Amino acid sequence: MANQPLAYFDDLRERNVLEIKKLKDQGKKVVGTYCAFTPKELIIAAGAIPVSLCGTRQEPIPEAEKILPRNLCPLIKSSFGFAITGSCPYFYFADLLIAETTCDGKIKMYELLREYKPMHILNLPPTSLGEDAFAYWYNEILKAKERLEREFAVEITTAKLQEAIRLVNEERRALLEFHRLNRHDPAPLSGLDLLKVLWAKGFTPDIAAGTAVIRQVTLAVKEQMARGVSAAPPGSPRILLTGCPVGLGSEKVIKLVEAGGGVVVCLESCSGIKALEPLVDEEGDPLQAIAAKYLQVPCPCLTPNRGRLELLERLIKEYRVDGVIDLTWQACHTYNIESYSIKKLVQEKAGLPFLPIETDYSTSDLQQLKVRIDAFLEMIK
């Protein structure tokens, strides 16, 4: 597609560094997060700015490997590398880190990160099912609220929480509307277009202003659709990408799919649509509503993880998918083991081609991946 509507997002992460520095100089606090389980609403209600610190680039990994094992998930190594090299301005500006017990690698990495920044750990229950799991998680949300209040000498009131919920829900609604443009065939957006806009939500200090831009961009894309503009020709294989989160810098699989003549019409991972649904209930007790929403993130770290299968089954139909690629980062055992269940769903229930990929952030396997992805797309065609 003609990419003018999305030009705003091209260097947004870099531009927002300057905005956050300005806000820090005015006394604003910054909270770094590492996962979709951390409630942005709590941070906003505390008067702070939430920023994502998940590393999605290869560059800092060699320094991280001087401390961490080489055969570890690249997301963990990249995140740690950015922290210890001082090359991430968002980490530099962070006054507090909130981290989650999603996997063993992250948990142990957080122990090392404590040497660099104050940290609060959100301990996830092993399952999202049942009253005991919810009561445990609600208590973790309450402890995070109390830590934010102590750390920043503020009171997080019910009114502040309700306002933060409305604000973040509006952002989710805007992002969902943007992502759902690709239900149309031919798809108006490439996978890189989707990623560029969805990834920006982790680095936007003014959420209301960012939401307004997303709505403007969505309107502009709709106008292009009315003129027949699309991201790929009609008949291009429509691919759903599931699995580990992808960010700018680790998008090589998306690029290879689209260079090979396919189009990634849906990003299911927690850097995509997974974390946007459902909205937080805007009625009743806000802390209860926040806890309920975030415990529904269908992550493989929770067992059983039926929510991911249900979400994938629905997305395959809604986005008229021709094939599914399941991306697992090296050494991410939870996603790798769950790939078996995803394969059964895709091949046996949906009757679609399925391609599992295990890789890292490096370019060493680009040619091998290109051969596999090209063959996958050719099979669909």
pLDDT above 70 for 2: no
d(CA 101, CA 122): 7
Confidence at residue 1, expressed as pLDDT on a 0 to 100 scale: 43
Query: CB–CB of 356/343 below 8 Å?
Result: yes
Are 238 and 279 in a shared domain?
A: yes
CATH number at 113 reads 3.40.50.11890
pLDDT above 60 for 314: yes
- What φ, ψ does residue 2 adopt, rounded to 5°? -70, 125
Of residues 67, 148, 177, 133, the one with CA closest to residue 294: 133
CATH number at 250 reads 3.40.50.11900
Task: Quickly tell me which residue has 């802390």 as its tokens.
Answer: 287
- Looking at 104, 138, 157, the residue that finishes a domain is 157
329: β partners:
359
For residues 158-185, give the mean pLDDT: 98
Report whether the peptide linkage leading into residue 186 is cis, meaning its omega lies within 30 degrees of zero.
yes
d(CA 164, CA 333): 35
Largest CA distance in the chain: 59
Are 272 and 200 in a shared domain?
A: yes
Confidence at residue 15, expressed as pLDDT on a 0 to 100 scale: 86
For residues 166-192, give the mean pLDDT: 98
Are 168 and 262 in a shared domain?
A: yes
For residues 299-327, give the mean pLDDT: 97
Are 203 and 153 in a shared domain?
A: no
Are 18 and 82 in a shared domain?
A: yes
Structure tokens at 180: 């759902």
d(CA 339, CA 345): 10
Poorest-pLDDT segment among 19-23, 95-99, 198-202? 198-202
328-365 residues labelled b (16+ CB within 10 A) or e (exposed): bbbbbebbbebbebbeebbeeebebbbbbbbbbbeeee
d(CA 307, CA 171): 22
- Looking at 111, 131, 157, the residue that finishes a domain is 157
pTM of the complete model: 0.96
Confidence at residue 10, expressed as pLDDT on a 0 to 100 scale: 83
The model's confidence at residue 148, banded by pLDDT at 50, 70 and 90, is very high
The model's confidence at residue 3, banded by pLDDT at 50, 70 and 90, is low
Beta strands 48-52 and 238-243 are unpaired
- 3-state SS track over the chain: CCCHHHHHHCCHHHHHHHHHHHHHHCCCEEEEECCCCCCHHHHHHCCEEEEECCCCCCCCHHHHCCCCCCCCCHHHHHHHHHHHHCCCHHHHHCCEEEEECCCHHHHHHHHHHCCCCCEEEECCCCCCCCHHHHHHHHHHHHHHHHHHHHHHCCCCCHHHHHHHHHHHHHHHHHHHHHHHHHHCCCCCCCHHHHHHHHHHHHHCCCHHHHHHHHHHHHHHHHHHHHCCCCCCCCCCCEEEEEECCCCCCCCHHHHHHHHCCCEEEEECCCCCCCCCCCCCCCCCCHHHHHHHHHCCCCCCCCCCCHHHHHHHHHHHHHCCCCEEEEEEECCCHHHHHHHHHHHHHHHHHCCCCEEEEEECCCCCCHHHHHHHHHHHHHHHC
Across the chain, mean pLDDT equals 96
Q: What percent of the chain has pLDDT over 90?
A: 94
Are 145 and 165 in a shared domain?
A: no
pLDDT above 60 for 98: yes
* Residue 145 lies in domain: 4-157
- Looking at 157, 175, 202, the residue that finishes a domain is 157
- pLDDT tens-digit series, residues 246-295: 999 999 999 999 999 999 999 999 999 999 999 999 999 999 999 999 99
Are 184 and 139 in a shared domain?
A: no
d(CA 230, CA 366): 27
Are 148 and 176 in a shared domain?
A: no
pLDDT above 70 for 236: yes
Are 105 and 31 in a shared domain?
A: yes
CB atoms near residue 224 (< 10 Å): 19
Are 164 and 100 in a shared domain?
A: no
pLDDT above 70 for 177: yes
Query: CB–CB of 263/194 below 8 Å?
Result: no
For residues 96-125, give the mean pLDDT: 97
Query: CB–CB of 190/1 below 8 Å?
Result: yes
Are 191 and 129 in a shared domain?
A: no
- pLDDT tens-digit series, residues 20-55: 999 999 999 999 999 999 999 999 999 999 999 999
Considering its fold, how many domains does the chain have in total?
2
Are 65 and 166 in a shared domain?
A: no
The model's confidence at residue 11, banded by pLDDT at 50, 70 and 90, is confident
Confidence at residue 215, expressed as pLDDT on a 0 to 100 scale: 97
Angle between helices 131-152 and 286-294 (to 10 degrees): 120
